[in-house]
Amino acid sequence: MQLRYQYRVSPTPAQAINARRVFGCKRVVWNDALSRIKPVKASNKLLGNPRRRTAEGPYLRVPKNPDLSKELITTAKKTQERAWLSDAPVGVL
């Protein structure tokens, strides 16, 4: 037997504004991470399988989560354009 629960969330206007701000920050960091990873993976895919390479060139290292976190969150908070990222809770980003 499986149980299912349904919840309805009715945030106050202040909570709704805060939630939109948090989700917006998360969306920006996610899109920045995708824009860093996608070209690297695409270029590695063009080189083909390491055993049966179809093109010459070095494989690029795909950035890992700690590297992305340091670059996209920590250093971005220090810039003027992304200073608003420091308003979001730490665990969300």
Enumerate residues 6+ apart whose C-beta is below 8 A from 40: 60, 61, 62, 63
Q: Which residues pair with 9 in a beta bridge?
A: none
pLDDT tens for each residue of 61-84: 888 888 888 888 888 888 888 888
How far apart (Å, rounded) are the C-alpha atoms in residues 8 and 16?
A: 14
How far apart (Å, rounded) are the C-alpha atoms in residues 40 and 59?
A: 9
Whether 89 and 79 have beta carbons less than 8 Å apart is answered as: no
pLDDT tens for each residue of 33-65: 999 999 888 888 877 776 776 666 777 888 888
How far apart (Å, rounded) are the C-alpha atoms in residues 28 and 88?
A: 12
Q: Which residue has the tokens 């695409």?
A: 42
Q: What six digits make up the tokens of 85?
A: 């990222």
What pTM value is reported for the model?
Answer: 0.74
Residue 54 DSSP label = S
